[in-house]
Amino acid sequence: MKVRSDQFSRLSSEALQDEFLREALARANASFQDARGDAIDSMPDWEELRQQAHEIKNRAIENLPEALEAFEENICSRGGEVHYCEDGAAARDTILSIIRSHDGTSVTKSKSMVTEEIALNDHLEEAGLSVLEGDLGEYIIQLAGEHPSHIIAPAIHKSREEVAELFHEHLGSDPKADIPELTRVAQRTLREAFLGADIGISGANFVVSETGTIVLVENEGNIRMSTTIPRVHIALVGIEKVVPRMEDLALLLRLLCRSATGQRVTSYISFISSARTPAEGDGPEKLHVVFLDAGRSRLWADPEQRAALNCIRCGACLNFCPVYGSVGGHSYGWVYPGPIGSVITPHYVGIEKASQLPQASSLCGRCAEVCPVKIPLPDMLLGLRAKAVEAGSAGLVERFSMRVYSLLARSPRLWRFALACGRPVYKLAARAGLASLLGGPLRRWSRTRSLPLPREQGFRSWWRTEKKRGDADG
C-alpha cells in the first residue's frame, strides 16, 4: 500500500474538517471504551493477567526464530507448506504462484491487515483474478475503493447512508435500506462468492508453534467460510504472530476479545492445523502458510523497540487515543493507525517516510494503560524521536535551539539573564496581541488559546526578598 505517512499533518488537518468523521469517531470510541470497561470490570485480576500476557509475549518474541522453526516442523508434518517472504513483493509473488499452481481464478479473502500491508488485492486483480473481501467492513471499503481506517473496524469511518448508497450503486439494493437489510444484501452476495471461490486467503491472529496451529478470531463467520469452502487455504502471517504453547493462547484470547470489542469471547475462533484430513467431511485440499518479514526482523534486532512486536492487534490503543479519536485512521497514511501505527510504521516503511508519526502524540499515556500486553507505547515514541535526532533528521533551527536551551539550562547565570531579557519581550508580545502577527509557535498557540501574562515578579526574586526579610527578622 502506498505510504502517505509523511503527510500526516495535511491529512489530519483535512480529517478535522470532516464533521461526520468526528462524530463517527466519537461514537465508535465511546462504545468501544464502554464495552471494554464493562468486560474488564468483571475481572478483578485484570492487571495481573496483563502482566502475564506481557511476559508470555516477551518470551515468545525473544525466542522467535526457534518458535518459527517448531511451527514449521509441526504443520509440515501434516502436509502443510510453509513459505518465508522477506518483503511485500516476495509475498505477493509467492501467493500468486501458489494460486497459479492450483489453477485458481477466484479468491475470497477474510479480514487481514497484513494483506493490506502488501496491497495483495491490487496485485491479484492486476493478475486477472477475482478477489472478494468476505468481512462486511472490508467488503464495504472494497466497494468504495478505500482502505481500512481501524485495525478491527475497517469501515468505522462510513455512515449507514454511505453504505446504503454504495450497495445501491453496486448491488442494486434499496438506497434507503436500514442496517439489517444491508447486512442481508451483503450476506446474499458474499455467500454465493464463498461457494464459488477456489482460493481462500486469511491472515492469522496467532500461530501456535508446539502444535503447528493457525488461530483465527472473528464474529461474522466469513473466516470460517473462506478457510473451509475453497480448495486451497493460504494464510499470510506476520512472523511476530507465533506463540509457543497452546496454554499461552487461553490467556491471550481472553485479553484480546475483551480489549478489542469487550466480548468475553468472539462468535467464532478457528484452530486450523492442517488441510482436510481423510476423516473430515470438508475443508481445503491444501494449506499454505506464507510468513512475512517486511521489516519485522529489523525491528526484532532493536532491543529498545522490539516490544512493538508483542502487539496482538486488539485496537484498544486506537480506541483510547485522543489523537486518533480526533483525526481517524486514514490520517496516519498507511495500514496501521493510532499509537501502535505510529510506532511500527516508521520501522516497516522507513523512518524517513513516516517521520511525523512519532511526533503526533501528546504522550498522554492512555495507550500504554489499556494495552493488554503492556507495550510501553509512549516510551517507544520517545525512542523513535531520539532515533530521528540521532539520524540527523531534525531541522537546523530545532537543533540550534536545543543547543542553546541546554547551554542555558546548565548555566544558571545565563539562564537567569535570558529569563530577565525574555520577560519584557514576551510580555510585550503577549499583551499587544502581537503573537498572532509574529508567526511561528506563538501564533499557532494563540489561535485557540490566550497567552498567559506574567503579572508579577518571578518566584526567584520573591524568594530572595523573602529570605532577606527572614534573615533580618532572625
Partner 1 sequence: MSEGKQAKIFITCLVDFLFPSVGRAMVKVLRHYGVELEFPSGQTCCGQPAFNAGFQGQAREVALHFLDLFEDSEAVVSPSGSCVAMVKEYYPGLFSEDEELKSRFDELASRTWEFSQYLTEVLGVSDFPGSSDGSLTWHDCCHSLRGLGIEEGPRKLLHSLEGADFRELEDSKECCGFGGLFSVKFDEISSEMLKNKLACIEKSGADCLVATDCSCLMHMAGGLEKAGSEVRTRHLAEVLAGALDEKAAGSQEESLP
35 part of the interface to partner 1, by CB under 8 A: no
Alpha-carbon distance of 118 to 29, in angstroms, equals 28
Q: Which of residues 425-454 bind partner 1 (CB under 8 A)?
A: 441, 444-452, 454
Site for partner 1 contains 359 (CB under 8 A): yes
Please tell me the distance from the alpha carbon of residue 438 to that of residue 428, in angstroms, as a whole number.
12
For partner 1, which residue of 3, 16, 76, 434 counts as binding (CB under 8 A)? 16
Instruction: Compute the Cα dihedral for 62, 68, 73, 74 and give only its sign.
Output: positive
Binding-site member from 143, 246, 382, 434 for partner 1 (CB under 8 A) = 382
Q: Which three cell numbers stand for residue 334?
A: 498507511
* Interaction of residue 423 with partner 1, rule CB under 8 A: yes
Residue 464 CB, nearest distance to partner 1 (Å)? 8
Only one of the segments 134-142, 143-151, 274-282, 394-402 lies at the binding site for partner 1 (rule: CB under 8 A); that segment is 394-402
In the bound state with partner 1, the residue whose beta carbon lies nearer, of 2 and 449, is 449
- Three-class SS state of 294: coil
Q: Does 403 bind partner 1 (CB under 8 A)?
A: yes
Q: Candidates 118-126, 228-236, 243-251, 358-366 — which segment interacts with partner 1 by CB under 8 A?
A: 358-366
Classify residue 451 by its DSSP letter: P
Output DSSP code: residue 392. T
Question: Is 319 an interacting residue with respect to partner 1 (CB under 8 A)?
Answer: no
Three-point CA angle 162, 114, 80, nearest 5°? 125
Residues 215-274 within binding reach of partner 1 (CB under 8 A)? none
Cα 193 from Cα 107, distance rounded (Å): 9
**107 strand-pairing partners:** 131, 199
457 makes contact with partner 1 (CB under 8 A): yes
Whichever of 227 and 319 has its CB closer to partner 1, that residue is 319
Q: What is the closest distance, in whole angstroms, from the C-beta atom of residue 82 to partner 1 in the complex?
A: 38
CA distance 423 to 457: 10
Contacts of 137 (CB under 8 A, 6+ apart): 111, 148, 153, 154, 155, 156
Say whether residue 2 binds partner 1 (CB under 8 A): no
Among candidate residues 192, 104, 80, 415, the one with its CA nearest the CA of residue 423: 415
Q: Counting contacts by CB under 8 A, is residue 5 touching partner 1? A: no
> Please, which residue, 269 or 357, has the CB nearer to partner 1?
357
Query: What is the DSSP pairing of strand 232-238 with strand 199-202?
Result: parallel
- Cell 481472553 belongs to 254
Interface contacts to partner 1, rule CB under 8 A: 9, 12-13, 16, 22, 322-323, 326-327, 359-366, 368-369, 382, 384-389, 394, 398, 402-403, 405-406, 408-410, 412, 415, 419, 422-423, 441, 444-452, 454, 456-460, 462-463
